Structure 1
Amino acid sequence: MPDILASVDEVQLLLRLRDGDDLAFGQIYDRYKARLGYSLLRLLKSEVLAEELLQDVFMKVWEHRAAIDPTRSFKAYLYRIAENMAYDFFRRAAREKEILQEIIAANTELYTHVEESLLKKENIAFLERLLAQLPSQRKKIFVACKLEGKSYKEVAEEFGISTTTVNDHIQKAMECLKANIHRIPVMQLTGLLVSFFLEK
């Protein structure tokens, strides 16, 4: 029941906001600023930049309040605006590669996300270019484990090595991928950053 009441309450606030009620806007802002602000801070690693972007996002909400549909998820609408504005920020920052690389370097959490993204079908071509830098056997072992889904035991038997050696090859292959993250095209890496830190 509380969730239903909260939902009804938000619909009323959104209707008032759409009509230009600044008090309703203030309540919506108070309701969402903390979580969105935290997501932006994780992404930008700067309280000043995160606060500026947060204010810009809500300014956009106010300017386009007539387009708000109270029957749809406002949270999704808000985060879509934030995602688009964050992407624009990084597109501008791409002209200053040092800034982007500092943000990337600070985001050690991104490595796992990048690994997962590289293993997706749409990114295989780029992954193959990275894997071309590996010794032949290491590349084959990585492909068998990560792309073909074979267990370490299966791969060990196939190559006549121990599972410990398989693990060593995988770890060194991942170190190579991490060391070459900077070679990912700037805008592709930007998309990974934004999608990772602004997950709904």
Structure 2
Amino acid sequence: MTNISSDRPISELLDSAGERAVAVVRGIADERLAGPTPCPEYDVRALADHLIQVVINFQALAAKQNADFSVERHYTDGGADWRSRFAEETATLVKAWAAPGAEEGTTGTFGLPARTVGHMVLGDLTVHAWDLARATGQEYAPDPAVVDEIGPALAEMAPMARKGGVFGEPVPVPEDASDFDKVLALTGRDPQWSPESGPALEP
């Protein structure tokens, strides 16, 4: 993977990543919500809540507004149709990043380039969709164009992400591992993780 991103709009890539993530979330059975995930600090329910919050927060960042990541809300509690809520919020996320100027300038508390922030949510949507799929026994295949985009972007962010406890230490993978397996390993995930194998990501 080269350290060069494409010129494809973030919204177009998010649309593809979001479609796959929505399918995974709709496939989560209620009896799986208490199960483990590749992120040991989250069970399936907590990770689904986290991903919904991520999608909502990055809508605000697309509009050059600040977002509060310090509070984790509980969308999956109660009788609300949280799976449909995730689909709706993901569609809103795509529209937010398709708005004129969304990829221009800087955004967020740290004043990062807007496209870098777009790469963050694209990475979260893709990697956490894999987390949830693997945790709940579902198949998951990301869009190769999305993998090509997030590979170099996440590699550039990795030192800062590890320092902040967002990524774990990289996991060794074979030279001939797929590009997506290399992305997962970069974030501290074992691409071979299963619910039976135990935690893989050490923050």
The TM-score with structure 1 as length reference comes to: 0.27
Which has the larger helix fraction?
1
The TM-score with structure 2 as length reference comes to: 0.27
| Structure whose CA Rg is larger | 1
